[in-house]
A and B are shown apart, each in its own frame.
Chain A
């Protein structure tokens, strides 16, 4: 899927010899006209509901705007405020905390599960479906169930955990040091199956003869994994890690349902803060400036992804 290097397909057949040159020009014009006709509805919608809001977000980030009064130009004030705002620092730290724990754990677990599922295994289809099922479900709705499972009074999971000595008197979601691990747990649970499926596709492209030859030479399972599977999955690991990191930077649904950013803003990520400042306090200008910080973070990761597609090196 090397998107960036796609060149226009060359004309396949030479033009029929009898057709006059003038006719080809007319055909080309007709085709161009048809093309723009096909694209018109999409382009209008994208222009009005994506491109215009995007530029408007940039403009608003230089203004003070609360819907009631017209936007007032204040230059770089919003960005200066971001630099010194402890609440925003807190949101950045929480976002990186969430991303830095969730990403490697999700990717690692996904790899382990994929390797497991790539073997002959009893109940393999059942296991694959169980791991993948959370991916298709509404995170907001399953987070309601997680909420109750972790409830200090009626929660089954917090009861079971208290049996093995992990007790939280206030409840996980109200405990400042346990709330973030709880939303991280749910974030991993939701997405691990997605990355597992991508890893499975990678594993199935590794030629079976490599493993067979190594087995005959006496290499054990761990050694075969270290020397064959892991290096040949380098591309897949890179791609999955970038996708996982982008997804964690945008985490919102389960945090909204489980903690609303609390307790004491300990789970308020950047997207949560944009929601709070933008849609509960109507600080549209300031929230727009925050959203551009998010754009820069994610765009950086996306460029890394494009760079990766440009020079994927492992061939076999």
Chain B
């Protein structure tokens, strides 16, 4: 991102003023970053403190003694490995299936001519505007009658495609030049072959961005797994840890170690592909 505004220090002053101004900006920047990072720093620091130091008064931010016991204990105390696996299967499964189904529908809407196309698109737009909370009760009711509560397919299948994903990919596919597939089509290539061999490779950047959105959204989601699963061993991490906090108020160290481990995959993804992530948001204005 290029800096556009004028240089920060007031022009035409001595070097002392420039240096003081620079120091002041650094202090401001560190203060803002400190406020934003405080809960995360505290979380990581606390996960390495012995339980006795955590509940000590007055509290301190940084640990005086370090311990790794919480990171070892967490695997037995909460069904943590189970929660972790559930979250990987849920978020990963939804992401992969949804990318496939979203892109197929987006391909039809963006690249094929057929009667009813506008109608389908308008229906997708309407679904995009409706808050998903309104479907929760009937959806729960439906999953109960299918016997799908407390199951992985109950979590994944209702999320296996998504109006936002279809919309996002359609917009991207519209921007590709049209004559790309015309030659292949005249040569008699099937639509599936065009989708698979020509369009999808070109859509890779959009698919990656959308995949990140899907993964992050489902990895982080609380309300949906909370409602569909009553069984704690079948929860995903956010719901499982929220419930654990409600039941065991005292085990701070373990809870913080679990939280740190639960946040790590998304943080890593984000730090590696930060730029694409941020651009995706800036262009669509929609969370995954």
Interface of A toward B, CB cutoff 8 Å: 1, 3-4, 6, 8-9, 11-13, 16, 28, 31-32, 34-39, 41-43, 45-46, 48-54, 56-57, 60, 67, 113, 117-124, 126-127, 129-149, 153-157, 159, 189, 193-194, 197-198, 200-201, 203-204, 206, 208, 211, 215, 221, 239-240, 243, 247, 249-250, 252-253, 256-257, 271, 274-275, 278-279, 284, 287-288, 291-292, 294-295, 298-299, 302-303
Contacts and interface: CB of A to CB of B under 8 A. Distances in A.
Given A145-B256, A154-B57, A46 B102 contact: no
Contacts of A288: 134, 137-138
B282 A197 contact: yes
A9 B285 contact: no
B167 interface: yes
Contacts of A37: 191
A16 B191 contact: no
B107 to A, nearest CB: 6
Interface stretch (B66-74, B200-208, B266-274): B266-274
Nearest to A12: B178
28 contacts: A3-B125, A11-B113, A35-B114, A48-B142, A49-B135, A51-B127, A53-B139, A56-B141, A57-B135, A119-B5, A122-B26, A122-B29, A123-B33, A131-B36, A139-B222, A141-B262, A145-B259, A154-B54, A189-B39, A197-B281, A198-B282, A206-B4, A211-B4, A215-B6, A247-B287, A250-B133, A291-B136, A295-B134
Interface in B152-200: 157-158, 160-161, 163, 166-167, 171, 174, 178-179, 182, 186, 190-192, 195
Nearest to B279: A201
B37 interface: yes
Interface of B: 1-8, 22, 25-26, 29-30, 32-33, 36-40, 42-43, 46, 54-61, 101-102, 104-105, 107-109, 112-115, 117-118, 120-121, 125, 127, 129-131, 133-142, 144, 157-158, 160-161, 163, 166-167, 171, 174, 178-179, 182, 186, 190-192, 195, 216, 219-220, 222-223, 226-227, 237-239, 241-242, 245, 252, 255-256, 259, 262-263, 266-267, 269-271, 274, 277-278, 281-287
A292 B134 contact: yes
Given A53-B137, A149-B38, A288-B134, 13 more contacts: A32-B112, A39-B120, A54-B134, A123-B30, A130-B37, A133-B40, A135-B281, A145-B43, A148-B252, A159-B58, A189-B39, A249-B131, A288-B137
Contact of A56 (B22, B127, B138, B263): B138
Contacts of B56: 154
A32 B167 contact: no
A45 B124 CA distance: 12
A122 B107 CA distance: 44
A118 B3 contact: yes
A136 B33 CA distance: 16
A152 to B, nearest CB: 11
Scoring A148, A221, A257, A303 by chain B CB atoms within 10 A of each residue's CB, the highest score goes to: A148
A12 B186 CA distance: 14
B115 to A, nearest CB: 7
A197 to B, nearest CB: 5
Given A198-B281, A204-B4, A39 B104 contact: yes
Closest 8 CB pairs of A and B: A56-B138, A201-B282, A32-B114, A138-B220, A53-B135, A140-B238, A34-B191, A53-B138
Nearest to B6: A215
A1 B130 CA distance: 19
B112 A38 contact: yes
B25 A122 contact: yes
A24 B190 CA distance: 16
Contacts of A279: 140, 227
Nearest to A284: B137
- The A interface, classified by DSSP as helix, strand, loop or mixed, is helix
Nearest to B244: A144
Nearest to B266: A136
A154 to B, nearest CB: 5
B127 A50 contact: yes
Nearest to B37: A130
B238 A141 contact: yes
A145 B36 contact: no
Nearest to A277: B137
A133 B284 CA distance: 18
A287 B137 contact: yes
A31 B42 contact: no
Contacts of B216: 136
B285 A284 contact: no
Contacts of A197: 278, 281-282
A136 B58 CA distance: 32
A154 B42 CA distance: 12
A183 to B, nearest CB: 14
Nearest to A291: B134
A145 B42 contact: yes
Contact of B223 (A123, A193, A275): A275
A60 to B, nearest CB: 6
Scoring B134, B161, B283 by chain A CB atoms within 10 A of each residue's CB, the highest score goes to: B134
Nearest to B109: A39
B33 A137 contact: no
Contacts of A46: 127, 161, 163
B277 to A, nearest CB: 7
A216 B134 CA distance: 55
